[in-house]
Structure 1
Amino acid sequence: MALNRRSAISTNLLAILLMLGSTNVSIVECRRHVLDGSDVTYAAINCRKHTAFLTDFGGNGDGQTSNTEVFRAAVLNLSQFENDGGSQLIVPPGRWLTGSFNLTSHFTLFIQFGAVVLASQDEGDYPLIKPLPSYGSGRDGPGGRFSSLIGGSHLTDVVITGDNGTIDGQGSIWWKKFHKKKLKNTRPYLIEPMYSNQIQISNLTLINSPSWFVHPVYSSDIIIQDLTILAPVDSPNTDGINPDSCKNIKIQDVFVVSGDDCVAVKSGWDEYGIKFGMPTEQAIIRRLTCISPDSAVIALGSEMSGGIKNIRAEDIRAINSESAVRIKTGPGRGAYVTDIFVDKMTLHTMKYVFWTTGAYGQHPDPGYDPKALPKVDRINYRNVVAEDVKMAGNMGGIEGDPFTGFCLSNVTIGLSEKPKKLQWNCTDVSGVSSNVTPEPCDALVDKGSIECEYPSDPVPIDTVQLKTCSFSTKKQILTSSLVHHLGYFSQTLWLVATFDAMLKP
Structure 2
Amino acid sequence: MTTNTLLWRLAFSVIASIPAQAQPAPTYSWTNLPRIAQPSFRKDTLNVLAFGAKPDGITLNTNAINSAIVACSKKGGGVVLVPAGLWMTGPIELKSNVNLHLKKSATLLFTPDKSQYALVEGVYEGKRAARNQSPISGKNLENIAITGQGILDGNGDVWRAVNKNQLTESQWQEKVASGGVLKDDGKTWYPSEQFKKASVGNRSMLLTDGKTPQDFADMKDMLRPNLVVLTNCKNVLLEGITCQNSAAWCLHPLMCQDLTLRNLTVKNPEYAHNGDGMDVESCKNFLIEGCTLDVGDDAICIKSGKDEEGRKRGMPTENGIIRNNTVYNGHGGFVVGSEMSGGARYIFVSNCTFMGTDKGIRFKSVRGRGGVVEHIYAKDIFMKDIAQEAIFFDMYYFVKFATDGERDVRPVLNEGTPIFRNMKFENIVCNGATKGVFIRGLPEMPVRNIVMAGLVLKAEKGIELTDAQGITFTNVQLITEQTKPVIALDNSSNLTFDTIQYNAGTSQLFAVKGERSQAIRMSNTDLSRAQTKAEFSQGATEKQLVFSATK
Q: TM-score if structure 1 supplies the norm length?
A: 0.73
In 2, the alpha carbon distance for the partners of 1:47 and 1:68 equals 23
Instruction: Identify which of 156, 165, 169 aligns with 2:154.
Output: 169
Deviation at 1:446, TM superposition (A): 3.1
- The yes-or-no answer on 1:389 pairing with 2:433 is yes
In 1, the alpha carbon distance for the partners of 2:235 and 2:71 equals 22
Unpaired segments ≥5 residues, structure 1: 1-43, 139-143, 363-368, 451-505
Instruction: Identify which of 494, 498, 523 aligns with 1:448.
Output: 498
SS at match of 2:160: helix
In 2, the alpha carbon distance for the partners of 1:388 and 1:425 equals 16
Offset from partner CA, 1:114-147 (integer Å, 9 cap, x none):
1100011122222111133993343xxxxx0112
Note if contact 1:134-1:267 (Cα within 8 Å) is conserved in structure 2.
Answer: no
SS at match of 1:332: coil
Q: How many residue pairs get matched? A: 386
SS at match of 2:433: strand
SS at match of 2:40: coil
1:279-294 counterparts in 2 under 5 A? 279-292=316-329
Change (3 A) 1:59 1:177: farther
In 2, the alpha carbon distance for the partners of 1:131 and 1:77 equals 26
In 2, the alpha carbon distance for the partners of 1:126 and 1:370 equals 41
Q: What is the match of residue 134 of structure 2?
A: 148
Instruction: Identify which of 343, 350, 359 aligns with 1:314.
Output: 350
Note if contact 2:476-2:499 (Cα within 8 Å) is conserved in structure 1.
Answer: no
Change (3 A) 1:256 1:100: same
1:20-419 counterparts in 2 under 5 A? 45-82=39-76, 86-132=77-123, 135-138=126-129, 144-162=130-148, 164-176=149-161, 180=190, 182=196, 184=219, 186-292=223-329, 295-350=331-386, 351-361=388-398, 372-415=416-459, 419=460
SS at match of 2:434: strand
Note if contact 1:134-1:272 (Cα within 8 Å) is conserved in structure 2.
Answer: no
In 1, the alpha carbon distance for the partners of 2:337 and 2:145 equals 27
Note if contact 1:231-1:257 (Cα within 8 Å) is conserved in structure 2.
Answer: yes
Note if contact 2:162-2:271 (Cα within 8 Å) is conserved in structure 1.
Answer: no
In 1, the alpha carbon distance for the partners of 2:328 and 2:298 equals 9
Q: What is the match of residue 432 of structure 1?
A: 472
Q: What is the match of residue 423 of structure 1?
A: 462
Note if contact 1:134-1:276 (Cα within 8 Å) is conserved in structure 2.
Answer: no
Note if contact 1:133-1:276 (Cα within 8 Å) is conserved in structure 2.
Answer: no
Q: TM-score if structure 2 supplies the norm length?
A: 0.67
Letter in 1 for 2:141: L
Deviation at 1:321, TM superposition (A): 0.9
**Aligned residues with identical type, % of pairs:** 28
In 2, the alpha carbon distance for the partners of 1:323 and 1:177 equals 22
In 2, the alpha carbon distance for the partners of 1:133 and 1:240 equals 15
In 1, the alpha carbon distance for the partners of 2:293 and 2:261 equals 13
In 2, the alpha carbon distance for the partners of 1:285 and 1:169 equals 25
In 2, the alpha carbon distance for the partners of 1:166 and 1:283 equals 26
Letter in 1 for 2:158: I
SS at match of 1:448: strand
In 2, the alpha carbon distance for the partners of 1:247 and 1:218 equals 7
Deviation at 1:177, TM superposition (A): 7.5
SS at match of 2:60: coil
Letter in 1 for 2:436: A
Unpaired segments ≥5 residues, structure 2: 1-37, 164-187, 199-218, 400-412, 479-485, 501-551
Deviation at 1:385, TM superposition (A): 1.0
SS at match of 1:124: helix
Deviation at 1:325, TM superposition (A): 1.1
In 2, the alpha carbon distance for the partners of 1:285 and 1:110 equals 24
State the structure with bigger RCO (CA 8 A, min sep 6), 1 or 2.
1
Deviation at 1:198, TM superposition (A): 0.1
In 1, the alpha carbon distance for the partners of 2:238 and 2:225 equals 18
Offset from partner CA, 1:209-258 (integer Å, 9 cap, x none):
11111111011001101011111112111111111010000000000001
Q: What is the match of residue 545 of structure 2?
A: none
Letter in 1 for 2:104: F
C-alpha RMSD over aligned residues? 2.2
Change (3 A) 1:87 1:74: same
